[in-house]
Amino acid sequence: MISVDNIIFLTLLALFLNTIINLRRITPDPPSPSKVDWPSVSILVPVRNEEKNIRQLIASLLEQDYPDFEIIVMDDGSTDKTWSILKEVAANQPRLRLVQGQELPANWTGKNWACYQLSRLAQGEMFLFTDADTLHRPTALKQAVASALHHESGLLSALPELEAKTWSEKLYMPIIPLAFVSLIPFFKLNRRKGRSFPAALGPFLLLPRRVYKACGGHEAIKENIVDDIALARQVAKQKEKITLIDGSHLFRIRFYTCFAELWAGFSKNSYEAIKGTPLKLIAIILACYFLFIHPYLALADGLSQAHLAALPLLQVILISLTRIILAERFGTGLLWVLFHPLSVSLVLLILVNSFRLSLFSKKIVWKERWYPLP
């Protein structure tokens, strides 16, 4: 009979191999040197109180090495200097269009309402929705469109380079590529038929206009806090292909700047992102404990007896190798691989808090707005 420790080892080995295979699958396709009929693209950016980031973002978008694109930025009721900065950077920039959003209707989240308005203004054959806390390299749009055309994608998203400066960011952020690259079987993600995993990240969502219209766009998900995965689910319902690429050489992002922001930001949507139920939450907690925390405890307990430490050591080595590969690829820092059990514990605490909010709170506050919880 196979022991629990052997099952843990075999599962970690499978996750390690899945990571290697997936990293090969998500490498973006280089733009073809031959003549390409590049579709026009509308880069759509909803912003609210982004005075710290907006100048760099706009500069990076204007520098895109792409033949036919427009940038539309919607200020969604900012109360800081965002709008005045936008007007300053828009001077003599014909590609850049600024608009102020209309008042938020009932039963809409702010970002979905802003994205919906942006889509109504867009002229491009493809839409790229991106966030104000991103910074794009000049080839980002061309490489993303090339990959979307190559894969015939209904929705293309990208895993960014992750910028982290505080201890909480450095603990939490490495789990994002681990969750997407190690835990998802991409052979099911990147196919047109059969079950599709709706894996997408809101900072980079590229899709054809026709797909956006067919799936109902942001109007179909107007009440969803987790807009990216909700939109991916709508696309999947249309039997369109969802493609996830490695965007670490395309753009980078700093999601949050301190523990309080990170705790509140991920607590608002983690439970909904996994389509949470209490049983699913318990299953995830148990799986994460046995796969990512128990090996370290077993190794510490078995250090005095070599024969007891051998298998836990192999388990920890597999976890560490997986984390090191992902850290090198997505810029999350090698040192923080040593704190992997703490990273997983933080993620689980935030997930439990997200469950608590969903169960007991009627509303959450985000970007100075209150939203009802499902």
Is 266 a domain residue?
A: no
Structure tokens at 138: 């000049």
Whole-angstrom distance, CA of residue 110 vs CA of residue 25: 34
Residues 39 and 17 in one domain: no
| Residue 372: partners with Cβ closer than 8 Å, 6 or more residues away | 223, 362, 363
Q: In order along the chain (374 residues), what is the average pLDDT of each group of 10 residues?
A: 88 96 83 74 95 94 95 92 92 92 88 95 97 95 93 93 94 94 76 61 95 96 88 92 92 93 89 84 95 94 75 95 95 93 97 88 61 58
Look at the chain and report how many structural domains it folds into.
2
Residues 10 and 60 in one domain: no
Whole-angstrom distance, CA of residue 256 vs CA of residue 247: 19
- For 71, the domain range is 26-258
Residue that terminates a domain, selected from 192, 225, 258: 258
Residue closest to 15 by CA, chosen among 325, 247, 310: 325
Residue closest to 158 by CA, chosen among 226, 227, 204, 199: 204
Whole-angstrom distance, CA of residue 122 vs CA of residue 99: 12
The residue written with tokens 């609210």 in the block is 48
Q: What pLDDT, on the 0 to 100 scale, is given for residue 259?
A: 95
Q: What pLDDT, on the 0 to 100 scale, is given for residue 269?
A: 82
Counting Cα atoms < 13 Å in the Cβ hemisphere of 45 gives: 29
Residues 281 and 195 in one domain: no
- List, in sequence order, every residue forming a beta bridge with 73; answer none if it has no partner: 45, 98
Residues 16 and 92 in one domain: no
Q: What pLDDT, on the 0 to 100 scale, is given for residue 231?
A: 94
- Is-contact 332 162, C-beta < 8 A? yes
Q: What pLDDT, on the 0 to 100 scale, is given for residue 92?
A: 84
Residues 158 and 87 in one domain: yes
Q: What pLDDT, on the 0 to 100 scale, is given for residue 185?
A: 79
CATH code of 74's domain? 3.90.550.10
Residue that terminates a domain, selected from 258, 284, 311: 258
Q: What pLDDT, on the 0 to 100 scale, is given for residue 194?
A: 47
Residues 141 and 156 in one domain: yes
Which DSSP letter does residue 221 get? G
Residue that terminates a domain, selected from 258, 285, 304: 258
Residues 179 and 241 in one domain: yes
Whole-angstrom distance, CA of residue 318 vs CA of residue 109: 41
Q: Read out DSSP for 345-371?
A: HHHHHHHHHHHHHHHH-SEEEETTEEE
- Is-contact 124 206, C-beta < 8 A? no
Residues 138 and 56 in one domain: yes
Is 267 a domain residue?
A: no
Residues 11 and 47 in one domain: no
